[in-house]
Amino acid sequence: MSAEPGSRPGRRYIVWAVGLVVYGLAVFHRSSLAVAGLAATERFDISASQLASFTMLQLLVYAAMQVPVGLMVDRFGSRTVLTAAVTVVSTGQAAFAFAGDYPTALVARALVGVGDAMTFICVLRLVTSWFPARQVPLVSQLTGNLGQLGALGAAAPMTWALGQFGWTRAYLAGAVAGLVMLVVLRLVLHDTPAQAHLRGVPMTARALGRSLAASWEQPGTRLGLWIHFSTPFSPALLGLLWGFPFLVTAEHTSRTTAGVLISVLFLTNLVYGPLFGWLVGRQPWHRSTLGLTIIAAMASVWAAVLLWPGDAPLWLLVLLILVTGAGGPGSMVGFDVARTSNPDHRTASASGIINVGGFTSSLLVIVAVGVVLDLLSPGGAEGTYTPEAFRWAMAVQYVLWAVGAAQVLRYRRRVRSLTTREQVAGGSTMVDLGRP
């Protein structure tokens, strides 16, 4: 039964909570290989490049699906697309639990990527549909940040589960949790307060192309894309695959310490998210400056770790985690730029364009690290990754930071040429400024 408009205001938080848990579960599935990289090399007898291909394929599928998913959400609504998402991601995780060979495991991770790709834009659309406009920026920021707590469950708890229950039962538990959430989703979640299912107007292929082209032509959309490209790949590199092996093999921390550090990486979202949301609200003109500042901070602390003679001290590794953790919440600034750059009927598709950026950069850097490790540490077995090889491999991040920062500066100039501070004071919806 559809809820009446404006009835039971508290219901919006219930709907949001369900969507948030579904998104967090998808993040858990996405990140569940992070602490199992060394175990995966043994289980499937694979090299570093082959190990990286799991995450590479998953992120490639995710990035490739963002624009189609945005169009699907605009057309069929969040409830329908989220139902498909939970079904597919749970199927993929179950298949990964039972996989005994490399090709089967690849197919399973591809399914995880497909299901994962459908969740975030759906929840953003729910926020837009259920919350007053003045609350949308804060709730959207909280959605991105709190959803990353799913990765926390894939850090230390997943390390414990793998040790206690083994590969199959540890991964199968996540798939079962997805089935439970599917039931809750169907019982609770509606697309809007007035409609369980909100359907968009059917569009021809030509009309879809025009809509996407209009979003792409907005300089603010491209600025948001490059902010999203430049900021999240470093925490993804650590949290999705290479952080645990880097800390254990290159910096010689214990497995427990490495698991705790990865957990702290995800916990930083709880601090940075509200902080960045407040900063963007107070200084909307400087959203791109915030992105550039995050890039500079991450590049600086990584330089200190990689150039440190011998093993970096624990305090420096903690600092690395704390600074790198800003990248994920920082990427949400790109969505805020997209929101203020496009009309409501193009919000989901524009967000899909933005979301391609970070997952493309994450894909590139994760694959590049695996390739460099294989070149400098032939064999790919545990113990063959030398600290020197890891330093060179992790240094590939600087190529992406240089490209991303240059593009942010380029499109910031274009956006600011179209706007003035007086227009912001007048409350206009501007592509680079937001709604003050």
Going residue by residue through the chain (436 aa), what tens digit of pLDDT does each one get?
333 444 466 888 999 999 999 999 888 888 887 777 777 877 887 777 777 778 778 778 887 888 888 878 877 888 889 999 999 999 999 998 898 888 998 899 889 889 988 898 889 888 888 888 777 777 877 888 788 778 777 767 777 887 788 888 888 888 888 889 899 989 888 888 877 666 666 666 777 777 778 878 888 889 999 999 999 999 989 987 788 889 998 899 998 898 889 888 878 877 888 888 778 777 777 888 999 999 999 999 999 999 999 899 999 999 999 999 999 889 988 888 877 777 766 777 777 788 888 888 988 898 899 889 888 876 554 447 788 899 999 999 999 999 999 999 998 888 877 765 434 444 444 444 433 2
CB under 8 Å to 243, separation ≥6 — which residues?
A: 34, 237, 258, 261, 262, 265
Residue 185 structure tokens = 């989703």
Q: How many CB atoms lie within 10 A of CB 419?
A: 17
Distance set, CA 315 to CA 59, 261, 311, 322 (Å): 31, 11, 11, 10
Q: At what angle do helices 37-44 and 102-117 cross, to 10 degrees?
A: 140
Cα–Cα nearest to 212, from 106, 66, 328, 40: 66
CATH class for domain 11-194+207-425?
mainly alpha
Residue type, 47: S
Q: Where are the domains of the chain?
A: 11-194+207-425
Measure the N-to-C terminal CA separation of the chain; round to a whole number of Å: 37
Torsion angle defined by CA atoms of residues 266, 271, 274 and 275, in that order, rounded to the nearest 10 degrees: -130
Q: How many CB atoms lie within 10 A of CB 138?
A: 17
